[in-house]
Amino acid sequence: MSNLTPPFSPGASPQDEPRRSPAGEGGPAAGNISDSEREDLRQHGILLTSLEELYGWGRSNSIWPLQFGLACCAIEMIAAATARFDIARFGAEIFRPSPRQADLMIVSGTVTKKMAPLVVRLWNQMPEPKYCIAMGACAISGGPFKQGYNVLKGIDRLIPVDIYIPGCPPRPEALLHGLTELQAKIRAEHVSGPQAARHLQADSASEFPIPDYGAHDLEPPHNPDLFKPPASPRAEGLKN
Amino acid sequence: MIVPASPDPAKPDLSTPPVAENSLASALPPFSPSAILPRLLARFPAATIELVPNPGPAAEHSLLLDAAHAREIATFLRDDDMLRLDYCSNATGIDWPEKEIVDTVKKSVPDPAGGPDKVVEEKTKRIQPGYLETVYHLYSMARKHGPVILRLRTENRNDRIFLPSLTPVWKSCDFQEREIFDLYGIVFLGHPDLRRLLMWDGFKDHPMRRDYVAPDDFEWEPTPHGSVLDRAKGHYPKTEGLNS
C-alpha cells in the first residue's frame, strides 16, 4: 500500500497534476479532485461523479438522429448505419422518422431553396436539447452549387449548426468522427451557470423563423440574427 | 460504242453517272428529316415546315414545325406505319434573345473622276427578334430507329409565348413540358397539368432565360473571382480615399 497516495492527504498537491475532466474547461466534474485521484478511488471500488457528468454521459451516448436525407450525402449516412460502419457503436443508430423523437438533425446534402423552409420547420418541431450536423460541402456552403439560383448557400443561414463535416460527400468514417466530436461537445456542456448549455439558457432561441417562398427568392433569404457573415478577406484588404 | 443501261449487276454501267438525287433519296433512312419532309409537305399542304440543318459533325438536322399544325403532324409521325415514332425521349427549351445582325454588302461604285470603280462596303444593321424554342427528340421502339428532331418556336419572348403541347401525343412529354414552362416560361396550350415543376408556385422568374438575374446572396465569398467577385463587391464595406 506504499504506492497508494491518499487522495485527500494534505501532502499531495493536486495542483501539480493536470486537471482533465469530462466537463471540459469549466472545471472538474466531481468536486475538487483530479482525474488521477478519481481513478485511484475507482480502483478501490468508489465511483465519484456528478449529476452534470452523468447527464452528459447519458445524453451523448444516445443521440437519435432524424431520419431524412436530402441528396447524395444521405447515401453515406445510410452506409454509416449499416453493419460495415455501424453507427450503433456510438448509440446513434435509432433514426427516428418523427422530429418529435429526434435529438440530432443531420443535414445531409444540398438544401434547395424550395426545401429550406421544410428543413427549418423540422428543426422547429424537434424538442430540446437538439443538435445539428451540416454534412458535406452543400449543407455547409452550397458546395459546387454555390452560385446556383435555387441552392441555399449553407444551412447555417437559417438554423444553428453544431458540427460541420466537410467532404463531397464525406465518407461514413467522417460522419462517425463528427458524431464523436458532437458527443465530446455534449459531455462538456454544463447544466447551470453562465456557461450552461444552449437549451438551458432562457434567452436562447429554440425556434427559428421559417422563410416564405417569395417572388424571386426566399423571404428573408437568411436569418439576420443567426447568420452574420464575416467581412471578406478581400474586403479587409481594401480597408487597410 | 454506246452501251445501253445494263441490268446486269456484275457489269455496272459506268458510262452515265447515276442520278445523284434519286440514289441519295433511296439511301436515306426513312427517319431522316430529308426523307420525312416531302411526305409531310404532301400530307399537310397548309403547314409550314422547314428543315433546320445542323452544320456540325453530328449532322442531326431537325424539322421546324409551325405551331398551328404541330399537333396533327406529331400524331402523324407517331402513327405512320413507316415511322412509328412512338417514344419521345427528350423535350427541352432554348432561349434565343433578340440580337443585332450586321449585313455587309460589297458594291462597286464608279469613280466620278474616271478612275477604276471603287469597292464600297455597305453595312446594314437589322434586329433579329428573339424567340423561345422547344426541341423534341423522337425515337421508334417498334422500328428501332431515330432520332427525329422537331422544333417549335414561339412568336416572341414576351407575350406571344404559346405553343401547342405534345403531351396528348406522347405522354412522356408531361414533366418535361412542365420543366420547360418552369424554366423558360413557354406556355403549352392543351397540357393537362401545367404547373411549375422545380421552382415553387409563387416564383415569378424563368431561371434558364438568358436575361435572368439570380438573387444576390453573395455576402460571404472567401475566394471570389470573375463575376462572383463583381457581385460580392456589392457587399464590401465602403472604401473611402481609395482610387479604385
Q: What is the DSSP string of B202-222?
A: T----TTSTT-------S--S
B230 touches chain A (CB under 8 A): no
- pLDDT digit string, tens, across residues A18-62: 444 444 444 445 457 788 888 888 899 988 888 888 899 999 999
- Residue B131 in 3-state DSSP? strand
pLDDT at B190: 92
Distance CA B133, CA B130 (A): 10
C-alpha cell at B33: 428529316
Q: H or E stretch including A239?
A: helix A233-239
Are the beta carbons of A238 and B244 separated by less than 8 Å?
yes
B146: left (phi over 0), alpha (psi -120 to 50) or beta: left
Taking CB atoms and an 8 Å limit, are A238 and B204 in contact across chains? no
Residue-level pLDDT at A193: 81
CB B130 within 8 A of CB B157: yes
**Domain ranges (residues) in chain B:** 19-96+132-200, 214-244
Beta bridge partners of B63: B51, B150
% of chain B exceeding 90 in pLDDT: 51
Does residue A97 belong to the interface with chain B, where contact is any CB pair within 8 Å? no
Cα A117 to Cα A125: distance, rounded to the nearest angstrom: 12
State pTM to two decimals. Answer: 0.78
Nearest to B143 by CA among B82, B202, B221: B82
Q: ω into residue A211 within 30 of 0, thus cis?
A: no
Quick check: B215 contacting A, CB < 8 Å? Answer: yes
Q: What CATH class does B19-96+132-200 carry? A: alpha beta
Using an 8 Å Cβ cutoff, are B204 and B211 in contact? Answer: no
Distance from CA of A134 to the nearest CA of B (A): 18
Average pLDDT, chain A: 83
The tens digit of pLDDT for each residue in A176-199 reads 999 999 999 999 888 888 888 888
Which chain A residue's Cα is nearest to B240?
A239
Cβ–Cβ below 8 Å for B204 and A215: yes
Which of the given ranges, A11-25, A53-67, A217-231, B211-225, has the highest pLDDT on average? A53-67
Place of cell 433512312: B29
